[in-house]
Structure 1
Amino acid sequence: MLKIKARKLGRRRALLELYREYYDGKLRLVDPKPPINILDYTLSPAYTLWMWTIILLVFSTLTTIWLSDTIWPLKYIRYVLGTIYTLFLPGYATIEALYPREEDLKPLEKLALSIGLSLAIVPLLGLILNYTPWGIRLEPVLATLALYITATTIIALYRKYNTYITKEKPKPKT
């Protein structure tokens, strides 16, 4: 029936009609092979691309900071990644952990809250570091931020998986 309707309307109009039905809630898209456990969920890029992007950005930032002293063009990449690392990622990981459902926040709200929370979290981590034997130096700050971002990302992954399980209830493969 869909092919007949597509031929009558034309491909572009048929896609527009499908989008409208999806937007109105008449059409529901379902994953044909949903993840069964948390490992499948974690390794499925359709569900956890955000997590792998955060991990890649943390790793890239740490790598460019340690290599930028020897390779001078990395200095500018270091500035960009360092800005994202300090002004966006801590707040974004926290927002993902606090609001695990996609429909909880709009993308612009998520961006604004991520930047605002990062501006609150990073100084608090610096204050905590100030009272440790390591002090506020590059290595402890990098390690603390990496640890915080990774820990909150893992918490967010767990919460998103629980939300997915309660929402979807995938059936085991037989």
Structure 2
Amino acid sequence: MLRIVEKSGGGNVLELVENAANRLGIERYEAARLLYRLKDLGYIRILDANPPKSLLRYFFSSHVIWFWLLASSVAATCILIYITPHTPPFIYLRYVFGSLFVLYLPGAALIELLYPKPSDLSQLERLALSIGLSLALVPLVGLILNYTPWGIRLNPISASLSLLTLGLAAGAVARKYSLLKLTL
């Protein structure tokens, strides 16, 4: 596979996959898997043919789908908290999204901020650290809110966790963009 990539002299991923599939007599998805395996091992680099030129374009590119999934999860949780009735089946959705909102999302945003490269941590390490950091961040938010006039109630907790999570995620987007600029 590496010889095929070297002989082709680069090109786009689709051409490389089709070329390798034809020459090796394998399916296209297997050729794509081999190509990405070479990338993971460091033999080749796959670069964006048209990278975003500004932070705003990067923010609305496919590079930050994770941010939009996180933001939509936060928005869905807030909608479930404030708009939907407190009866089944909505109550079960509140449990699921509320658990995700409290136990995973704040830590996941912080992990993306601290370790912006995908190669820094494995997916399992990201999951474990996200849960652990969420379990550390949420009580700190509660402790800070305890000494404010708002206290520890549903509205201040949901607002502060939403702002914290989205703020950390926005910082992670900016950091990932700066890393992308360095690799160009």
Tell me whether 1:88 sits opposite 2:95 in the alignment.
no
In the other structure, the counterpart of 1:25 is 42
User: Aligned partners of 2:31 and 2:65: how far apart in 1?
Assistant: 29
- Find 2:51's aligned residue among 24, 34, 41: 34
SS in 1 for 2:119: helix
Kindly report which structure 2 residues correspond to 1:135-146, keeping only aligned pairs within 5 A, or say none: 135-146=151-162
Once the two structures are superposed, residues 49-71 of structure 1 have per-residue CA deviations (whole angstroms, 9 ceiling, x without a partner) of: 11001100000000011123366
SS in 2 for 1:103: coil
Shift of residue 101, structure 1, vs aligned partner: 1.3
TM score, norm. by length of structure 1: 0.87
Which AA in structure 2 matches 1:100? P
Tell me whether 1:10 sits opposite 2:39 in the alignment.
no
Once the two structures are superposed, residues 122-144 of structure 1 have per-residue CA deviations (whole angstroms, 9 ceiling, x without a partner) of: 00100100010011000010001
Unpaired segments ≥5 residues, structure 2? 1-7, 9-15
Shift of residue 31, structure 1, vs aligned partner: 1.2
Identity percentage of aligned residues = 45
Kindly report which structure 2 residues correspond to 1:9-158, keeping only aligned pairs within 5 A, or say none: 9-12=24-27, 14-15=31-32, 17-45=34-62, 47-69=63-85, 72-158=88-174
Structure number with the bigger relative contact order (C-alpha 8 A, sep ≥ 6) is: 1
Per the alignment, do residues 16 and 128 of structure 1 end up closer, same or farther by CA in structure 2, a change over 3 Å counting?
closer
The number of aligned residues is 167
Shift of residue 39, structure 1, vs aligned partner: 1.1
Which AA in structure 1 matches 2:71? I
Shift of residue 100, structure 1, vs aligned partner: 1.3
In the other structure, the counterpart of 1:172 is none
Shift of residue 102, structure 1, vs aligned partner: 1.3
Using the TM superposition, name which of 152-161 and 23-32 deviates more: 23-32
User: Aligned partners of 1:122 and 1:163: how far apart in 2?
Assistant: 29
Unpaired segments ≥5 residues, structure 1? 170-174
TM score, norm. by length of structure 2: 0.82
RMSD of aligned residue pairs (Cα, Å): 2.0
Shift of residue 5, structure 1, vs aligned partner: 5.5
Once the two structures are superposed, residues 28-53 of structure 1 have per-residue CA deviations (whole angstroms, 9 ceiling, x without a partner) of: 212111111111111112x1011001
Shift of residue 15, structure 1, vs aligned partner: 4.4
Shift of residue 26, structure 1, vs aligned partner: 2.9
Once the two structures are superposed, residues 84-114 of structure 1 have per-residue CA deviations (whole angstroms, 9 ceiling, x without a partner) of: 0000001011111111111111110010000
User: Aligned partners of 2:80 and 2:108: how far apart in 1?
Assistant: 21
User: Aligned partners of 1:19 and 1:155: how far apart in 2?
Assistant: 28
Per the alignment, do residues 81 and 133 of structure 1 end up closer, same or farther by CA in structure 2, a change over 3 Å counting?
same
